[in-house]
Structure formats: structure tokens, C-alpha cells
Structure 1
Amino acid sequence: MKSIILYRALELIISILGLFIILPFILPTIITVSLLTGQFPFIRQERMVALNKKRIIIYKIRTIRKFNKSYNMNYNSAEIFNNHKLNKFVPSFCKLLRKTGLDETPQLLNVIKGDLSLIGPRPMLERDLLILMREDPKSYKIRTMINAKPGITGFWQIYGDRSKGFKNLVSSDTYYENNKSFLIDLKIFIKTILIMLRAEHSDSIVGNKFREISNQKY
């Protein structure tokens, strides 16, 4: 119990500190995003680890211009992890936000609220989970047994390989749930900061840096 309270306190301190650090950059960022996309600079998305898990509303900075929704109608499981055809709708400045992961920093508010952890399995859109449940029911069933609170960053985001799709996501999140420790969380956190500074964030639209889990040391 003490370790849970300590971990939660540490998450709150880091999240509040993170918000204070990015606060001076928020106003110019949202003004630029509004001008480039022609839309409100923030988006809300309902996400969950699996359809049987708690649904949460997460916040992100908008990075994609308006486009005809029919352009993305033929959506399949492969495009959940690599949807490069939308790349042309992402302005250069917004690509930088995605590559640094700065578009996801509003989710620090979710951590403060208690909806998210800093580190945990990747929450997904209901649309994506329905596709994955239909196309890979075995992996989806394993996903439904994950009990860890979803996170802004996580084992898959750092060590995973988008090119291997849903199975890689599930194996990564399952590994994390079974082996979670302060040391693993610390390594994920440090690597996340380094990836943000180097603009090497793994992204489904503007490109990603594939990482082989088998070649990583934790």
C-alpha cells in the first residue's frame, strides 16, 4: 500500500512539474496549430485498454488538418499502427509535435485526474479495438486480461515494433504487466525523455523508429 501511495505521489509531482515546464510554450503552440489546421487546437478522444475496461477521455493537441472522412474509410488493422496515407494532412510544425510526443503532453492532466498513469499499456480507440477483436480474437482476448492502468508512455511505446502490429503490442503490454518494477518504469521514463528530445517518437502517421523487442535490454 505504501509503495502505491508513493508511486502515485511521484506521478503527481512529475506531472505538475511537466505542466509548469511546458506552460510557456502552450500559448504559441496552440495559436500555431489553430492557424495551420483551421480548427480548435485540442481534441478529446475516448480510449480504453480493451472494450471490457474503463473508458477514459484523453486530451491531445490537434495535429491533422481537415480531410474528407471517406479518404480514410477503408481502414484496416495494419493502418492502426501505420497510417502513413494521412501524413500529407499533417503540417510540418505538427509533424514535429508528433515526433517529439509533445502533442500528447495535455494527457498529464489525465494523470493528475487519475485516469492515466505516466507509464502503462497503450489505451486505444473503440473503433480500433473492434477491428482487432475481429481480425485477431486470440490476441484481443489476451489484451482483455491486462489490468494495469493505461499510460501516456509505456513498454510498447519504447521497445515495441509497429511493423509487427497488434501481436507485438499485446506481447509488450503483457510483458510489462508481468514484470512491472520501479527499475523498468525508471528506464522507460528516461528513454521517453530522450526520445522526446531527439524527436524520435514512434508515430503511426508521420513515420516511426522501429525497435526490436528481442534486441533490447531492459
Structure 2
Amino acid sequence: MKHRYSSFIPLINIATDMLLLNLSYFVAYFYNYDDFNGVLQDPYLSLWGVINIGWMVLVFIIKPYVFSRVQFSTSHLELRFLTLLAVHGALVSLYITATQGYYFSRLHLALLYSSFFVLGSLWRVVFVWGLKQYRLHGYNHRSYIVVSGTEKAESLTRYYDMHPELGMNYLGYFGNKVTSPLYQGTYADVIPFMKEYAIDYIYCYGGDMDTRAFKEIADAAYEMESEVKLLPDYIDIPNRLDVEYHDYIPIFRYLPQTFYQTREAYLKRVFDIFFSCIVIVGGFPFFLLLGLATKITSRGPAIYRQRRTGLMGKPFTIYKFRSMKVNAEQRHSLGETDERITPWGHFMRRTRLDELPQFFNVLKGDMSIVGPRPLAGYDIDILKRDMPEGYRLLVSVKPGLTSIGQTLYGYASNAREIKERANIDLTYAPSLQEDVSIIFRTVRVIFAASGK
């Protein structure tokens, strides 16, 4: 059986949750009664049994630890954990009501669930972080190939390259056209390749592939315990597709959604205000020093203002520490060779310190801490012409002070780079965990002065 150790991941989480549940139960009891005299005597012995048996039953029903690699994140685990806690609490309440056990301490139960929530949440953060580090060091990897659809293969491999913590190794492309750098052969070569390299995932694009070839590959994959995944024709549409089945016929429902919905937008706004206030208040002396250094090193104002495009295409004024000479031509930076940038400006751009005044844009509500970079006029013209759907999605969310494209790619100086960075920003999946991760990447860029 392939990857037999992966089956231990749910078992580790089940065992840890059981340990934390019982630890919380006994600690809450001791805090409430200041001893353990009656903790394993009726009626608390019966309550302890119901709590443990109820939890195990719900674990096997809800399956809170079964996720794909892409979904195995703190946010997904936390959501399942909260669901499990709520159902378990309702189950225990039903037991108390049915047995008329109103003598049970409400404080004990409140402490039990609150402490278990804190400990369980911390465990999920640590476990997901540890598993990602484990994969980044070359362990727990999976191999995959793409069959048919060269452009789809490039989009998929680019996504996995952007997320090395998923541990996905691309071994090649199969199709009738030799257009991919890792071209391995035609459809007839797929099954021998699968057998030789024990491929874990086979991504098939049906647009150029006949049913007979797909059926042969799918049957072989089943025998080799490999998983087949389909890339639909609509992969280039930057919206979500909801699938529903009419008997065995999959029907895709087009959902014109933006990057995130109301709940995520509210949480991001709370986080933006909290984080910005901390940075502005705590770093205000540093802001003054940067402004003074900008004034001393070149003639002109310390703060530079420019019109950018924000949410839903609405223009706003962005603030930055001035890194160019006064009255510089309004076009993209050419990098280290750009004569418009001052020596001090080069340093601020490499460390991203010129972006710090945008925390005031965040407080005003024009921007978020993390999101696609705010677009200038020349960016908009290029993206509207060459990536209209991508542009629409980029402006459906507040622009960010930093972005995944900014940390991994940097500044863009021509049409090709503008589109490449936009494609990277389109891989952004808004969540608190993702935002914190991007913030840490930005901090590394600042201290290493490695910004492009």
C-alpha cells in the first residue's frame, strides 16, 4: 500500500484531541472543586464516559481530519473543530437534560470547552505548520503528471511551484503535441510511466482527450492506487464552479464570486485596523526618521502621492515615501538602472520601506494589509486588454500593502512582467493564515533587502 504512513495523520490528530479533551476535563474539574476526589465517581464518571464516547462517535461521523492536501490548512481544520465542538456540546447538553443531571457544575463544563478549544486550536496551528515544514524539507511528497492540455499543465504546475509546502513533484506532461518542457510522450506512454514511477496523481484535461484513452488511464490508476483528477474546460474562468450531479452527469454551475465573501471581508477589516494601529503607533518615530532621511537625501517632499485603482475600479490616492526625483516621468520603474530613482530610494525599494505610509491608506479603508497590489493606469490598460477576466477579479478585492506577487516577484517594469505578477496575485487565497504567511514573507524581504 502506497504512503502507508499518511494514514497516521488522522490517528495522530484523534489521539491528541482525546488527550487534550481529557486534560481539559480534569483540569477544569480541579479548578472548580480544588481536588480530584469525585472526578471518577458517579455522576461525574458517567459524564466523563459520555464526553469521551460522544467525541469518538462524532469523529467517525464527521471525519474532521480528512482533507486533501490543498484543503489541509489551519482554517479548514479549525472550522471542522468548531463544528465538532458545537455538536458535542449539544450532545452533552442533551444527556444532562435526559438524565436530569442539573447538579453538574456549569462552570466545570464552561471551563472544559473553553480550555479544550484553546488547546485544540493551538495544536492545529502547530501541527499544520510542522507538516508544512516537513514537506518543505523534502519529506511526505507526492508525484503527479498532466495528461493533455499544455496551458492547463502550466497553470497547475505554477500553482504548485508557488506552494512548495504542499509537497507536489511534477514529473511530466503527456499529449499529442510536444509543447511542454517536461514532455514525456503520448497517451500510450502514460500507463508504463505510471507503473515505473508510482505516480500519485494524474491530472487529465478532457478537451483534447478521447474517452477511450481516459478510460484506460483511469482503470490503470485504480489498480495502482493512484488518483485521477479532471481539469475542466473552464479552468481559465477566474470564478468558482459549483458541481451538482444529475444521476451520473456532472453539471457545473457558474458562480460569479469575488475573492472572498462577507464573513472573510469583515474579519480582514478587523485585522487590518488592529495591525495598522499597532504599526503606526509603535513605529511612528521610525516613520519620522524615514521621512527626514528622504528629505535630506534629495530635493522634494517626503511623501509621494499617486492615483491608483482600488476596489471595483474606484480610484484613490496612495501614499509612499518618495523614492524618485521630483517631476519624474510617470512610467514603470526600470529597476537598478532607472535614473529617476534616488540612491536612498533604491534602498527603500529593496527593503519595501517606501510602502510604509500605506498603513494610513489601510486605516482609511482604501487598502488592506494583504491583497493584490493597487494598479496604476498603465497596468490597467495592459490587463484590460490581455487579461480582462483576471483584471475583473483583481479589482473585486481591496488592493494590499503587500501581496503574494510583490513578495515572490517584486516590481514589474514591462507588459510581460505586469501579467506575470498579476497571475501570481490571482493565486492568493484570502484567509487569516495566508495573510500572516505573506506578512512574514514581506518581513523577510525587508530585513534581507532582497526586494526586486
Query: TM exceeds 0.5?
Result: yes
Mean Cα displacement is larger for which, 137-146 or 6-15? 137-146
How far is 1:85 from its partner? 7.1
CA deviation map 1:73-124 (0-9, x unaligned):
xx6xxxx3x5137633433322221111111100000111111000001112
Pairing partner for 2:315 from 44, 51, 55: 55
How far is 1:191 from its partner? 0.7
Mean Cα displacement is larger for which, 15-24 or 139-148? 139-148
TM normalised by structure 2 equals 0.38
Does the residue aligned with 2:354 lie in a helix, a strand or coil? Answer: helix
In structure 2, the partner of 1:156 is 405
7 and 68 in structure 1: CA distance in 2 versus 1, 3 angstrom threshold: closer
* Contact 1:100-1:197 within 8 A present in 2 as well: yes
3 and 169 in structure 1: CA distance in 2 versus 1, 3 angstrom threshold: closer
How far is 1:141 from its partner? 4.1
Mark the runs of 5 or more structure 1 residues left unpaired by the alignment: 202-207, 209-218
Does the residue aligned with 1:28 lie in a helix, a strand or coil? Answer: helix
* Contact 2:310-2:367 within 8 A present in 1 as well: no
* Contact 2:380-2:391 within 8 A present in 1 as well: no
31 and 182 in structure 1: CA distance in 2 versus 1, 3 angstrom threshold: closer
Taking the aligned partners of 2:310 and 2:337, their CA distance within structure 1 comes to 24
In structure 1, the partner of 2:297 is 36
Does the residue aligned with 2:323 lie in a helix, a strand or coil? Answer: coil
Residues 1-218 of structure 1: pairs in structure 2 closer than 5 A: 3-48=264-309, 53-66=313-326, 69=329, 80=332, 83-84=334-335, 87-130=338-381, 132-133=382-383, 137-146=385-394, 147-160=396-409, 162=412, 164-176=416-428, 179-201=429-451, 208=452
Taking the aligned partners of 1:18 and 1:117, their CA distance within structure 2 comes to 14
Taking the aligned partners of 1:186 and 1:30, their CA distance within structure 2 comes to 27
Letter of the aligned partner of 2:420 in structure 1?
A: N
Greater relative contact order (CA < 8 Å, ≥ 6 in sequence): 1
CA deviation map 1:116-165 (0-9, x unaligned):
000001112123422x15xx723244212331111010111122365851
Mean Cα displacement is larger for which, 184-193 or 111-120? 184-193
Does the residue aligned with 2:387 lie in a helix, a strand or coil? Answer: helix
How far is 1:26 from its partner? 2.5
Count of aligned pairs: 187
Letter of the aligned partner of 1:58 in structure 2?
A: I
Does the residue aligned with 1:145 lie in a helix, a strand or coil? Answer: helix
In structure 1, the partner of 2:69 is none
CA deviation map 1:14-37 (0-9, x unaligned):
111111232112233222212322
Larger Rg: 2
Does the residue aligned with 1:56 lie in a helix, a strand or coil? Answer: strand
Does the residue aligned with 2:357 lie in a helix, a strand or coil? Answer: helix
User: Alignment identity in percent?
Assistant: 25
Letter of the aligned partner of 2:294 in structure 1?
A: V
* Contact 2:370-2:439 within 8 A present in 1 as well: yes
Does the residue aligned with 1:60 lie in a helix, a strand or coil? Answer: strand
Does the residue aligned with 2:373 lie in a helix, a strand or coil? Answer: coil
37 and 103 in structure 1: CA distance in 2 versus 1, 3 angstrom threshold: same
